[in-house]
Structure 1
Amino acid sequence: MGDLLIRPMTLDDVEDAERVSDEGFFELETRMRRVGDPAPEHRSAAHRRRWLERTSHLVRTDPGGCWAAEDGTGTVGMATSLRRETLWCLATYAVLPQRQGQGIGKPLLAAAMTHGQACTRAMLSASMDPRAARVYHQAGFALHPQMHFTGTLDRSVLPVIEKVREGSGGDVDLMDSLDRATRGAGHGVDHELMLREQRLLVSDTSTGSGYAYLDERGRVALLAASNRRTATRLLWAALAEGPDEVVLRHLTGANQWALDVGFAARLQLHQAGYLALRGMNPPAPYVHSGALL
């Protein structure tokens, strides 16, 4: 297999990194699958395209935070991270299933974390894997359990929704100000990526402001607001605009307003994974994006 090399990721590495990530997450979902969960699947062609675009974006914007692990067999691990103002986020981190437990993951994560040494805050979305939870805890992260809703939306309970409009690139300054108030840093250049692929809803009134990105399936991908009332309005708007079969991820206990909406919409609540934080409390009112957080 040869000596292990941890080196900066380049754009030429992105496809190999996607393969490692896909295999790693497929094995994880298979191993952690609970009774009643859907069977794990490899990424679809559309999901793979979005993953490649997002990772290429991170390699361009944060070359110091993107790393590949390789030996004589090729790429065996990958990690991407981003630094926005004083916030560092781990986007993706994976090692080939057959190479786990061989001393690859620890130096790979350490390399990515050097990108955030000057940051006062850090966050990442962790799976249910107890091994990963231990690694992040030992790295100084506080683990906050995450919840998600699934189910068929009861449209008969939808309220009248007002003061929500389509957003655009002209809303970036507003969105960054909301990001700073909730998570301590704006998304900055990441809005360029999200605006290309996702629909944006905005509410901006004298009593509060907020925004929500909806993914290609019409599901909430990211939501931030200045208060719970505005966040609630945006979440109801997103549910009304989205599909009947709802998946609403990345909810923490700090966002009880989102639980109020989900239960009122007759959805089922589940628990899975952790929001791992260092130097900060769980953002609220806020539903993070998973990779770009």
Structure 2
Amino acid sequence: MSDVRIRPMTVDDVPAAERVTAVGFHELDTRMFRRAWPEPQLRPAERGAMWAERTRHLVSHDPGGCWVAERDDQLLGVVVSFVREQLWLLASYAVLPDAQGLGLGKALLAPALEHGRGCLRGMLNASSDPRALRRYHDAGFTLHPQMFLRGTPDRAAIPVLENVREGGEGDLDLMNSVDRQIRGSAHGPDHEILMRQLRLVVSETRSAQGYAYLDQGVALLAATDRRTATSLLWEAIASAESELMVGHVTPENSWAVDVGLAARLELHQEGFLALRNMRPPAPYLAHGALM
């Protein structure tokens, strides 16, 4: 590893970093593949463009949390982390298959964790990769199993929905307030990129508020009570054109399991929500990268 350099990521690194993560995640998906699941696919170009836009945003706002491992001008590994108020988050973390076993994963994670040293809490979505889980556990994170729902919904099961509307920039204060109540920190500038990439719906009554970003399912959902969260999830199901995915469901969010099974979706278990000095947020379905 003496010829490998760990250095801060720049915006110019983003295209190569996107390929490192695409290849790294595909290798992991293939290694952890279950026969009953669809064959893993390399990240498509459209998703790659979204990853790149999101990562340029994070490098611009949190350069101290974004690092690469480089040898002979080739990127071998990537870590993207960021801080929102008093919460440290890990957005992306991968090493090329041919470079694994060299200690790059540990070397990359160290400066990312240092970036969040002053934070009270930490949060990340983890795969089921045993090596990565050991690193997160050693870093003080508690691992909470996650479920996901997928399939083509029974449209006859969808109820009549009230108090759900299209969202926009005028809802930023509402969403940041919900974030702080449920996960302890606002998404802040991350809402800007989420609104560019995804459809936003909002529910607001005198006693409760919530919002969801939709992407053939749910990309992120937060609400101040289960009733509001349930309405937003039904809106996501109603909006899906065909098969949909509802991911990052912790046991504390059993309301999402109730809705998904009522819609005749399949329930599966995969991955973990890794948390440090905080309880699993609820009602809450985390975004895969921005949490």
The one-letter amino acid paired with 1:148 is F
- Unaligned runs of 5+ residues in structure 2 are none
The corresponding residue for 1:13 is 13
* Cα distance in 1 for residues equivalent to 2:258 and 2:5: 48
TM-superposition CA deviations, 1:98-143 (whole Å, max 9, x none): 1111011101001111111111010000001111111111111000
The list of structure 1 runs, each at least 4 consecutive aligned residues, that deviate by more than 6 angstroms after superposition, is: none
The one-letter amino acid paired with 1:241 is S
1:86 lines up with 2:86 in the alignment = yes
TM-score, normalised with respect to structure 1: 0.97
Alpha-carbon offset, residue 17 of structure 1:
0.8
Give the 3-state SS of the residue equivalent to 2:279 in structure 1.
Answer: coil
- Give the alignment of 1:49-64 within 5 angstroms: 49-64=49-64
* Cα distance in 2 for residues equivalent to 1:124 and 1:6: 22
TM-superposition CA deviations, 1:67-99 (whole Å, max 9, x none): 011122611111001100000100000011111
CA contact (8 A) 1:219 1:243 kept: no
Alpha-carbon offset, residue 2 of structure 1:
5.8
Alpha-carbon offset, residue 244 of structure 1:
2.9
TM-score, normalised with respect to structure 2: 0.98
The corresponding residue for 1:127 is 127
Give the 3-state SS of the residue equivalent to 1:75 in structure 2.
Answer: strand
Give the 3-state SS of the residue equivalent to 1:258 in structure 2.
Answer: helix
The corresponding residue for 2:286 is 288
Instruction: Give the alignment partner of residue 229 of structure 1, picking from 220, 227, 230.
Output: 227
- Unaligned runs of 5+ residues in structure 1 are none
- Give the alignment of 1:29-108 within 5 angstroms: 29-72=29-72, 74-108=74-108
CA contact (8 A) 1:126 1:133 kept: yes
The one-letter amino acid paired with 2:255 is W
CA contact (8 A) 1:79 1:112 kept: yes
* Cα distance in 1 for residues equivalent to 2:218 and 2:24: 25
TM-superposition CA deviations, 1:168-195 (whole Å, max 9, x none): 0010000000000111000000011011
Give the 3-state SS of the residue equivalent to 1:282 in structure 2.
Answer: coil
TM-superposition CA deviations, 1:28-48 (whole Å, max 9, x none): 001000111111111111011
* Cα distance in 2 for residues equivalent to 1:243 and 1:67: 38
Instruction: Give the alignment partner of residue 236 of structure 2, picking from 235, 238, 260.
Output: 238
| Amino-acid identity (%) | 58
1:266 lines up with 2:264 in the alignment = yes
Q: What RMSD over aligned residues (CA atoms) do the two structures have, in Å?
A: 1.0
- Give the alignment of 1:138-157 within 5 angstroms: 138-157=138-157
TM-superposition CA deviations, 1:211-233 (whole Å, max 9, x none): 00112xx3211000000011011
The one-letter amino acid paired with 2:169 is G
Aligned length: 291
- Give the alignment of 1:242-261 within 5 angstroms: 242-261=240-259
1:185 lines up with 2:185 in the alignment = yes
